[in-house]
Chains A and B, each alone.
Chain A
Amino acid sequence: MDYLGQLLANGLVLGAIYALAAVAFTLVYGVVRLVNFAFGELFMLGAFLTASLMLPEVRLLGAIVPMPGFSLPVAAAGAIALTAALGVLVDRIAYRPLRNAPRLAPLITSIAVSVVLQSLAQTVWGAEELRFPEFHLATLPPVVLFDSIYLSVMDLVVMATALAAMLGLSAFIARSSLGRAMRASAEDQMAATLVGIPVNRVVAAAFAIGSGFAALAGLLYAQTYGFAHSSMGFLPGLKALTAAVLGGIGSIPGAALGGLILGLVEALGSGYLPNGTAWKDAISFVLLVGLLYLRPQGLLGKPELNSAGRGSLLGGASEFGAGWLRAAFGKLDGGLARAASAGTPAALGLLALALVVGALLPSDYWLRILTLVVIYGMLASGLNVIVGFAGLLDLGFVAFWAVGAYLTSILFVLVLKDQFGVEPATIWWLLYLNLPLAGLLAAGFAVMLGTPTLRLRGDYLAIMTLGFGEIVRVVAINWMDLTNGPMGIRGIPAPNLFGIALGSPRAQFFFALALAVVVVFAIARLVRSYVGRAWVAIREDEEAAEAMGVPTARYKLYAYAASGFVGGFVGVFYAHTQQYISPLNFSLFENILLLMLVVLGGLGTFIGPFVGALIWIVFLQLALDLPFVQAYPETRFALLGIVLIVLMVFRPQGLAASARVALTMPGARPANAKEAA
C-alpha cells in the first residue's frame, strides 16, 4: 500500500507535466489541425531558459555570460514569455505560409523546426547537461501523507501549478472573447473570418499559449529531475503527444486526462513490472497503439477528428512566395521532370557513372561514404514506397530496417557463432538467404503494423506508426537475451561470396550498387503495375479511390509490405557492412532523416531518394572541413532543417513534384505534364 501510494504520487507529478505539454499539442491541433512536433523542443527551451535566468552566469556558445539570477517564479515567467514569442515566430515563418499547402508540408516543416531548435540548443548550451538550480522551496522538508507517502514541496507546487494553469486555460477558452474566437476558428475558419475574426492572429495566439504551456511543462520537468539537456524534450514531447491523442486531440480535458493516465501508468508500470523502469517508455506507446485501434478519436475526442487530417498528403499547392522564387523552383522542377522522363536511360546512365566512380575512386574513405549513400538511398526508397507512392506518412519505418539488421546479426553472431561455434565464413551463403528472409519477416511486421492503422487517417496514422517505431526500439534496447540490449551486437561478418570475403570498401560499394539495382527495379515494376496505380490513386484521393472500387485497405497493406520488405532487405546488408549494430542506429531521428532525404530528392520518384542521400551525406562530410562546423558539428542538422523549411515554404509540393509518378486514367494526359511547362 505504501509503495503503491508513493508510485501514485510520483505518477501524478509526472502526469501533471505530461498534461501541460499535451495541452500545447491539443490546442494547436484543435485550431489549425497541425501536429506541431516542435513542442518537444519548446519544452526543452523552457527548461534551458528558466535555468539560465536563475543562474548568476551560464556558458553560452562556450563563453561565460552573466545572467540575472532570478528566483524560479520570475525566471519561469520570463522563459514562458520568450518561448511563447518563439512559438509565434515559428508559426509565422514555418507554418502560416503553408495553411493551404499539401498536408505533408507543414508536418515536414514542424519536424524540421524540431531538428533546428534541438541542434541550436546544443550549439548554444553545449552537449552537457545543465544542472537545474535549486529553488529555496525545494529545501523544505517533504510533506508526508499517511505516514508513508513522501511528496516534496516542489511536487505539490508542480501539481498545483498544472491544475491552476489548466483550469485557467479552460475558463479562458470557455468565456473570453479570444477563447470563443479560437473555438470558432477551430470549427470553421471561413465562417470565423466572415464574422470579423482575424484568424491568423487567433492562430498565433494559440501558438503563443501552446508554446507557453510547453515551456511551463519543460521547466517543471527540469526542476523535478534536476537538469536541462538539449535532447530532453524528445521523449516527453512524444509522450505528451501520446497523451493528447489518448485523451482525444483537440480536447483540453482530454489532454489532462491523457496526461494523468500516462503518468500513472508509467509510474505503476515501472514500479510493478519486472524490470519496469526499462520498459516504461514502451508502455505508453503500447497504450497508444491499443487505444487508437479500439477508439481512434481518443477517450474524450470527437469521432470527426480522425477524418480531420484526411485529404491528400501531397496534393494541392499554396500560392505563397515571391513570383521569381516560385518560377525558379518551377524551372528546377521542369529540369528534373525532363531528366526523369528519360526514365530508364537516365537510370542506366547514373548506374554507369556510379560503376566508373566505384572503379576509379582511389580513396577508401570516400568509397565507404558512397556505400552509405547507396544504403540510405535504398532505405529512403523503401520509405518512399509508402510516403511518396501511397501517400501514407510513416514514422515507424526504421523498425523494418532494424528487423533486417537484427535478424542477420542474431543468426550469425548470437546464435551460430556464440551458441554453436560456427565460423561465419563457412556459412557465407546464409547472408543471401537472409536478404529475402529478413525482407519477408519485416514485411510481415509491416502488415501487422499496417492492419490496425487501416482505419486511421492522416495525422493519426503518423502518430501510430511513430508509436510502433518507438516500441521496436525500446524492445531492441531492453530484450537483452535477444538483442544484447544497448551494448549492441559486435563482430558481424563482412559479406562473403563463395568464400571470398568482400571486406574491401570497393567490393562493398559494388555489392551495394547491385542491391540498389534490385531494389529500384523491383519498386519500379511494382509502381508501374496495377498495384502502383492503386497506390497513386490512394495518394491523390483516398475517398475517390474507394468510390471507384479500389480496395484501398488491401493496397495500403501491400504498400506497407513492400516498404517493409525493402527495409528488412537493406537492413541485412547494412548490418554486414557496419559489422556492429545497436539500438541507437534505429532511432526516430533516423526515420526523420530518411523522410527528409526523400523530400529533398523528390517524393514519389525513383531516383529521388538516392539524390537526396547523395546531397545530404556528401554535404555532411564536406561540412566537416569548415572550422565553424568542426567546433559545432550539430549545426549541420540545423542547416538541413533550414534548407527543408525554405524548400517546403516555397515549394510545398516538394522538389521534382512534376517528375512524381502521376495518377493515370485511361485516356487522360499525365496530370503533371502542364505543371512542368
Chain B
Amino acid sequence: MSQTAHIVHLTAPTGPADAATPPLLQVENLAVSYGRIRAVDGVNLHVEPGRIVSLVGSNGAGKTTTLMALSGLLPLASGRIRFAGEDITALAPELRVARGIAHVPERRRVFAGMSVRENLVLGAYARGDAVDIASDLERMVALFPRLGERMAQQAGTMSGGEQQMLAIARGLMSRPSLLIMDEPTMGLAPQMIDLILDTVLEIRKQGTTILLVEQNAVEAMRLSDHVYIMRLGRIVHEDSGTNIDPERVKSFYLGADA
C-alpha cells in the first residue's frame, strides 16, 4: 500500500461524519494539575465513531497528560468525560478498559520481562478469563506478522519498532471501541513509521475508532479526519475533514514554539 493511496482515501472520510452522530468520546472542560502546575486547562474535544482524530502540539503541550486523564491514570482538577453515552469521569481505570477504551502509552511500555504471548494475553485481562483469546492472537498475528514469529521472545529484547507493534497489539487485545495511541512513531525509522501508520488505518478500517497523539503533525493530518492542536494545556485550533490545511495547521503548531 502506498502513502498516496491513503491520502486519497482519507480526503473522503469513511463513515458518517455529520453532527447527527453522537460522539463516542466527549470531553468537556478537562483540567489536570501536577501539584500547583496546571498542565491541561479546559480542554474540550469529541471523537465520532469510526474516525481517526489527532491531537498534535509541541513538547509539553499537555497531550500525554490529556490522554492519561482519559484513561483514569490522573485525577481531574475539573471536567467531564463521556464515553459511549456514559459518564466515566469517576470510573476506575480498569473499568474504562472494560468499557472499551484501550491506551497504548508513550514509550510503548511493554512488559519487558515477559514473552510476547504473555504481553498479548495480558492485553485481554479486562475481558476476564472465559473469552476466546486464541482467535484474538490470530488477529494480531494477521495484523503484525512479525509478532507471530516472536511469540516466545522476551518482549524487552525486541527492537523498538517491534515493541511498538506489540504495544498496539496488546491494546487491541481488549477489543476496544476506542484506541488511544500516544506517539506510536516516536523514535522509529521512516520505514517503520510508514508501517505503523498503515496499521493505524487498517485498525480503523476494522471498526476501531482512534484518538492519536503525534509529534509529526504532517503525518497526523494526512491520516486524520479531524485534528486538534494543543498548546500550553489548551486546544488552540481544530480542523475537520477536507478542510484540513497542512499549512495552516503547521503555522499553529509552530506558533507554539515561537
Contact = CB atoms under 8 A, between A and B. Distances in A.
B247 interface: no
Contacts of B9: none
Contacts of B121: 180
A194 B173 CA distance: 12
Interface in B96-143: 97-98, 102-103, 105, 109-114, 118, 121-123, 125-127, 129
Contacts of B13: none
Nearest to B97: A196
Nearest to B173: A195
Contacts of A181: 122, 125
Contacts of B102: 194
Contact of A187 (B114, B125, B127, B174): B114
Interface in A160-201: 177, 180-181, 183-184, 187-188, 190-198
Find the residue from B97, B113, B122, B126 having the highest chain A CB count within 10 A.
B122
Given A184-B122, A195-B123, A190 B114 contact: no
Contacts of A193: 71-73, 93-94
Interface in B64-97: 71-73, 75, 92-94, 97
A191 B122 CA distance: 10
Contacts of A319: 75
B170 interface: yes
Contact of B105 (A180, A194, A197): A194
Given A188-B109, A190-B109, A180 B118 contact: yes
Given A183-B111, A183-B113, A188-B109, A195 B73 contact: no
A303 B123 CA distance: 28
Contacts of B97: 194-196
Contacts of A196: 93-94, 97-98, 125-127, 174
Nearest to A176: B129
A181 B110 CA distance: 13
A191 B105 contact: yes
Given A180-B118, A181-B122, A184-B111, A195 B129 contact: no
B32 to A, nearest CB: 13
B113 A187 contact: yes
Interface in A186-241: 187-188, 190-198
Contacts of A191: 105, 109-111
B129 A177 contact: yes
A239 to B, nearest CB: 28
B109 A197 contact: no
Nearest to B35: A317
A198 B129 contact: no
Contacts of A197: 94, 122, 125-126
A195 B98 CA distance: 9
Interface string B149-176: 0000000000000000000001101100
A177 B112 CA distance: 18
Contact of B170 (A183, A190, A195): A195
B92 to A, nearest CB: 7
Contacts of B173: 195
A191 B110 CA distance: 7
A319 B36 CA distance: 12
Contacts of B98: 196
Contact of A188 (B93, B111, B129): B111
Given A180-B118, A181-B122, A181-B125, A194 B103 contact: yes
Contacts of A194: 71, 73, 93, 97, 102-103, 105, 109, 171
A187 B112 contact: yes
Contacts of B109: 188, 190-191, 194
A244 B179 CA distance: 41
B182 to A, nearest CB: 10
A672 to B, nearest CB: 14
B124 to A, nearest CB: 8
Find the residue from B75, B105, B111, B118 having the highest chain A CB count within 10 A.
B111
Nearest to B72: A193
A198 B71 CA distance: 13
Interface in A306-324: 319
Contacts of A195: 97, 122-123, 125-126, 170-171, 173-174
Contacts of B72: 193
Nearest to B109: A191
Nearest to A198: B94
A194 B180 CA distance: 11
Nearest to B123: A195
A197 B124 CA distance: 10
A198 B94 CA distance: 6
Contacts of A183: 111, 113-114
B71 to A, nearest CB: 6
A195 B120 CA distance: 10
A180 B122 contact: yes
Interface in A429-456: none
A180 to B, nearest CB: 6
A432 to B, nearest CB: 52
Contacts of B174: 195-196
Contacts of B126: 195-197
A504 B102 CA distance: 75
Nearest to A185: B111
Given A191-B105, A193-B73, A198 B92 contact: yes
A312 to B, nearest CB: 16
A222 B97 CA distance: 46
Find the residue from B93, B103, B127 having the highest chain A CB count within 10 A.
B93
Contacts of B71: 193-194
Interface string B13-31: 0000000000000000000
Contacts of B127: 196
Nearest to A188: B109
Find the residue from B75, B105, B125, B170 having the highest chain A CB count within 10 A.
B125
Interface string A576-590: 000000000000000
Contact of A190 (B73, B75, B122): B73
Nearest to B110: A191
Nearest to B108: A191
Contact of A177 (B123, B125, B170): B125
Given A197-B94, A197-B125, A184 B73 contact: no
Contacts of A190: 73, 105, 109
A325 to B, nearest CB: 18
A194 B94 CA distance: 7
A187 B97 CA distance: 19
A191 B97 CA distance: 12
B78 to A, nearest CB: 16
B179 to A, nearest CB: 12
B12 to A, nearest CB: 33
A193 B97 CA distance: 9
A97 to B, nearest CB: 15
B153 to A, nearest CB: 16
Given A194-B171, A195-B123, A195-B173, 18 more contacts: A177-B129, A180-B118, A180-B122, A181-B125, A184-B122, A191-B105, A191-B110, A193-B71, A193-B73, A194-B73, A194-B93, A194-B97, A194-B109, A195-B97, A195-B170, A196-B125, A197-B125, A319-B75
List of 9 A-B pairs having minimum Cβ-Cβ separation, nearest first: A196-B126, A196-B97, A191-B109, A198-B94, A196-B94, A193-B93, A194-B103, A187-B111, A196-B125
23 contacts: A180-B121, A180-B122, A181-B125, A183-B111, A184-B114, A184-B122, A187-B111, A187-B113, A188-B111, A190-B105, A190-B109, A193-B72, A194-B105, A194-B171, A195-B97, A195-B122, A195-B126, A195-B170, A195-B171, A196-B126, A197-B125, A198-B94, A319-B75
Interface of B: 71-73, 75, 92-94, 97-98, 102-103, 105, 109-114, 118, 121-123, 125-127, 129, 170-171, 173-174
